[in-house]
Structure 1
């Protein structure tokens, strides 16, 4: 065909023929100008081809002096020659063919050569072949490769299949920490997530104070004491009556500080470790992965303790000792007149996982709690609370683990945008949940990567407001609108003040952005968006400056719940009346909560999860406007529904 007098011809067979011939030339060593020495094996190739597919080799070739004899020499002492040959074939033919037992070696070689696409393909293949038998081995491999994406997916699988995995050989070979926990009289152990948050804090404290290696704790069964003030103590400290109430506050995030003892820097000798970017074990990593309650008093957990993948076995039993004199005792109140069993039955059921920085929304009369983090571990699991049954069940997990995001309902579907996945502080990806299909699908990405942004709906559109910029904790003024029909993003007027961790919601056709922080300075200012003239206007400020607060609309007013004031988690609550443009304080929650989820469930304002300054929470409480009180009892929700 000759349009405009130009000859145009496409030879569909040329490319395949040329590629096949070039690979044949490589294998016969013809016209090759690079030698790869891989553990004593020599492989010939062409620099131009390898430089096109391997950024690592491009850098090597680009930085080297003129090679002797015109042939470059590159040595690898830590790669599998068969895996490198597979990558060479891929470089010449675009076909990746590897036996199952070679896939991990191909992944390792692709990581070294910075061939990211091959890494992803190998990782996805491993995930497709993973079962309960291989899950621990695959996790060890992903950890050694420092692949956060792969680790997140494997940990999600482990969370769903822990009991089955716990019966397999690899799991049984893991180092094991055995704990016997004595309970204060009439006291029960907390739920799994909260319990292991306390356990990890105790392990940190023990290693911090003693300077002994982790293996020392595993030599014998450790006796602990769970006291009436909900703290976990060393059994020896109980016997000596030396329990300190402030100790947990200091030790909660000890992994983020430099250890004061040289011995804390020792290399763990256990085999299964998490890794740092250079492939060496990350000795400072503390990570809760999954746990199950195996019977009424026995728990099983998989966690990373100071870089070591470990099993924690925990058994609770009644304490033979009386409460230490220095341990605060529970004071009796109206809510404690019932027997412990009756009290437990009356409390609102907690979530399966403790969560902070989660997304919450009401959907079809049920409360949805998605994602969040627990001791820096971002979750992808999603739980659904049914107030009629007072129970939490799991629905389809999100495609991406994420925390520090907000969730909104648009046209009967849930939307989440941005946030953090624990490895990248700011995400641009979003997803939508269809309750009829029970599945999440991707939505077009944000224009700006952002974490801690506010999300709400307005006139059948999704608004994403403020957040953290990709370079740090500087707040953003950005406001973007998403049309679910055209699936496009457009920009709205920017905020007057940069904000991240602000509470955002719609009321009477206006969008309110409440508090948050500019850099790390907490704000009490409030802005209102008018879509008719595309402007933000400052309205009356809150009484308390706060970031990480929750917000919900109830009876035409804004309820702002908890948060963080720069020094502590808050339990205080205030309400905004738009007709009077004024804020007033309400009764405080029973528990301080920052980065909690807040939603109106069947006409009742509920708060769930969050962080109280010491522990990540899985509990829920509800507000009773008649008494101006919050309660964690089932009756508080049931009575208001009627």
Structure 2
């Protein structure tokens, strides 16, 4: 069209054609006047194109004393593949990155001040976030200084704190444990007010008294909540106070340090983020932030907070002041799910609970008794081992393991208990293992695994100990690895790998075969099952379960496999199913009274026992029994 004598023509294909040609020129190195040196890799590009999409590079090029020469820009802390993704975006307006590379692309976009790309990457990460990844995403967002992303992650954690608290990353966070003495008839305030007081107390300890945060976490801190609603060191109450600590998982009393000076002076946190001890202002060098909290039982709270720039878990338990209850027993290390003596009747009485709530524990039946070892309970991974006598309905302690561990399985081989791998809650997955001799009541080390791993299946087969699958050292995907340990030669040997990557699979032996049941491939729960034949060293897929699940328990009775509870990716499960190898089929049984994921399951006589685990809200110390004759679960014993 030629309005008013002017020629106007719009070529819709011109831009696409030009962009494609410019990108081809870049890749062939033609007319390039910029060399990006990224960790030893050299990437060619055109100054004008990069200056248009990266304010950071625009500033560099604009200040170049010789603009007509070839510019060299060096980056030693960016991923070359991520920078290549950004170059492709600059020339094509298309952002394409593998999911494993998105964080690196985000980091590179931040450095180059490409805000639109940074936002797109952040939104993608948020869309993939779940309870398993929330803590690592928060570390990333905090490290990037992205307030928008950080706010979204914290909002997710607030809504899913209990589920997040079951994950491996959460268990590895530093922990601050507080016991708060309460006067009679005094209650702790609501969560928000309570933790603002806790954070102020930590600030006071660090800024006014020079107390390093690490030292505050070395032992349980005993505080006093006064009638005028102030949270103070217990030293204010009685000069020198006793504080409850834990050594080898047994409660002890230790002498607290001399009372700190001026603890009653109040510090305030201003809106500008500075601390004001008296009239002297000091800058708050790091972030202080309350993120989320839950009341887990009566006067017991769980909180996630940032203290002096460190992401921490705070456990707080309020109890009566020793003045009104001098012989009171510390409750901090007791179960968060059992709040007191259970009511009983003449006909039935509740099964005795374990001393510790445990999830991700190892269980086995040994000499007619149930052994429950290790596990975690939100506060820490445990070393303690408890032994249940069904006839006496009581739990007693045996020798603790040498290493705290959770997310492992236990097996009996030649009359001894074996545990391998797992996690101690502080470092990467474990490679160490140990064995328990019931005659001497001692644990001894066994040769280490060749691969650090947790969430692996363990069972005995043909007088050997097998370790099946598990999590890789990064905890992001399942393993196919299977290893066999000979207790005579003390040597590990590899055997055939699984057909499917699995961690948190239930593993057991039946009629000379080993079964790997369910689990997860990454965090997608599986219903598939495979069977190992040691004669020809092969794994074969068999009939799948009715319900996909990870973290289930398994036991064998009268030639059949019983799979109990677990997690289906959304919720902890109550459902139970049984496998008949003669028919190669699964069928559903009566459900448990409580949902349980990562619980312990074992056979005592003719009864299947499920103990501990996580029900979606609480870590459990309770137990229930399955009667095959009635197809019912019960948490009580008949007194008859």
- TM-score interval, smaller chain: 0.5 to 0.7
Q: Name the residue aligned to 1:492.
A: 495
Counterpart of 1:521? 524
Query: Do the aligned partners of residues 518 and 171 (structure 1) sit closer, same or farther apart at CA in structure 2, a change above 3 Å counting?
Result: farther
Matched residue, 2:330: 300
Which residue in the other structure is 1:464 paired with? 467
Look up the match of 1:397.
400
Q: What is the alpha-carbon distance in structure 1 between the residues aligned to residue 394 and residue 515 of structure 2?
A: 32
Q: Assess if the C-alpha contact under 8 Å between 1:288 and 1:375 holds in 2.
A: no
- Equivalent in the alignment of 1:595: 598
Match of 1:327 in 2: none
Alignment partner for residue 386 of structure 1, among 379, 386, 389? Answer: 389
- Shift of the alpha carbon at 1:631? 0.2
Corresponding residue of 2:48: none
> How much has 1:147 moved relative to structure 2?
9.2
Say which of 538, 551, 573 aligns to 2:576: 573
**Other structure's SS at 1:567 match:** coil
Q: Deviations over 1:160-212 (max 9, x none)?
A: 142x43xx3449989x9xxxxxxxxxxxxxxxxxxxxxxxxxxxxx976899x
Q: Which residue is 1:286 aligned to?
A: 314
Residue 586 of structure 2 corresponds to: 583
How far 1:286 sits from its partner (Å)?
2.4
Q: Deviations over 1:87-129 (max 9, x none)?
A: xxxxxxxxxxxxxxxxxxxxxxxxxxxxxxxxxxxxxxxxxxx
Question: For residues 542 and 503 of structure 2, what CA distance do their matches in structure 1 show?
Answer: 18
Counterpart Cα distance in 2 of 1:172 and 1:486:
57
Partner Cα separation in structure 2 for residue 142 and residue 422 of structure 1: 19
Alignment of 1:243-392 (within 5 A): 255=304, 282=310, 284-287=312-315, 298-302=328-332, 340-342=343-345, 346-375=349-378, 377-392=380-395
TM-fit CA distance, 1:158: 6.2
**Is contact 2:293-2:303 (8 Å) kept?**
no
Q: Distance in 2 between matches of 1:293 and 1:489?
A: 54
Given the superposition, is the C-alpha separation of residues 254 and 601 from structure 1 closer, same or farther in structure 2, using an over 3 Å criterion? same
Structure 1 position 377, deviation (Å): 1.1
Is residue 597 of structure 2 the alignment partner of residue 615 of structure 1? no
Q: Distance in 1 between matches of 2:372 and 2:246?
A: 16
2: CA distance between counterparts of 1:448 and 1:569? 29
Say which of 498, 503, 507 aligns to 1:504.
Answer: 507
Answer whether contact 1:292 1:301 (CA < 8 A) is retained. Answer: no
Identify unmatched segments of 5+ residues in structure 1.
1-139, 149-153, 177-205, 212-223, 225-229, 235-251, 256-263, 268-279, 304-310, 319-338
1:159 equivalenced with 2:249 (yes/no): yes
Distance in 1 between the 2:417 and 2:257 partners? 39
Deviation string, structure 1 residues 559-615 (Cα, Å, up to 9, x no partner) = 000000000000000000000000000000000000000000122110000000000
Deviation for aligned residue 1:348: 0.6
Contact 1:571–1:591 (Cα < 8 Å) also in 2: yes
Q: Is the 8 A contact 1:558 1:575 kept in 2?
A: yes
Aligned to 2:222: none
Q: CA deviation at 1:283?
A: 5.6
**In 1, Cα distance between the equivalents of 2:374 and 2:499?**
30
CA distance in 2, matches of 1:210, 1:433: 38
TM-score (norm 1): 0.53
SS of the aligned residue for 2:472 comes to: coil
The Cα RMSD (Å) is: 4.0
Superimposed CA distance per residue, residues 483-541 of structure 1 (whole angstroms, 9 cap, x where no aligned partner): 00000000110000000000000000000000000000000000000011100000000
Using a 3 Å threshold, how does the CA distance of structure 1 residues 144 and 173 change in structure 2: closer, same or farther? closer
**Alignment length, in residue pairs?**
376
Q: Which residue of 2 aligns with 1:30?
A: none
Cα–Cα, structure 1 residues 208 and 491, in superposed 2: closer, same or farther, change >3 Å? closer
Deviation at 1:143? 3.6
Structure number with greater Rg is 2
**Distance 1:420-1:233 versus aligned 2 partners, 3 A rule:** closer
Are 2:465 and 1:437 aligned?
no
Deviations 1:243-274 (A, max 9, x none): xxxxxxxxx9762xxxxxxxx65x5xxxxxxx
> Residue 330 of structure 2: SS of its match in structure 1?
strand
In 1, Cα distance between equivalents of 2:293 and 2:464? 56
Q: Give the CA deviation at 1:284.
A: 2.3
Q: In structure 2, what is the equivalent of residue 543 of structure 1? A: 546
* Maintained 8 Å contact 1:419/1:453: yes
CA distance in 2, matches of 1:387, 1:523: 34
- Deviation for aligned residue 1:157: 1.1
Q: C-alpha distance in 2, partners of 1:402/1:551?
A: 20
CA distance 1:172–1:598, change in 2 (3 Å):
farther
8 A Cα contact 1:523 1:545, kept in partner = yes
TM-score, normalised by the number of residues in structure 2: 0.53
Q: CA deviation at 1:634?
A: 1.5
